[in-house]
Structure 1
Amino acid sequence: MTKSFKERKVLKDVTFKISSEIKVIIGLNGSGKSTLLRIIAGIIKPDKGRIIING
């Protein structure tokens, strides 16, 4: 998935799979953690790609 805000690419070609265990997302300030969580929650839409939950 990819997401940009104006000229700034926040997420570029992000791909991952989450199983049933507890997960943690860590990274530097401005690395796209909150944007990723907002996309997963359906608050914002990715520019490219998709989220698949339960198949």
Structure 2
Amino acid sequence: MLYCSSKNLSKKTLASYEQSLKLFLSYLQEHFKIIEATKVQTAHIRHYIKFVKERG
């Protein structure tokens, strides 16, 4: 989010990105019991992308 802020993105865009990150965090916690960013692996991200596509 700091990087996005430094790019002077609109407040709406920042809010949207933040909401997306919160949803991803919630998914990681619920499905993989992950609460630390250092524990996220490529497979977790791929599972999330698949989940979002299937959800619509």
TM-score (norm 1): 0.27
- The answer to which structure, 1 or 2, has the higher relative contact order (CA under 8 A, 6+ apart) is 1
TM-score (norm 2): 0.27
Higher helix share: 2
Higher strand share: 1
Q: Tell which structure's C-alpha radius of gyration is larger.
A: 2
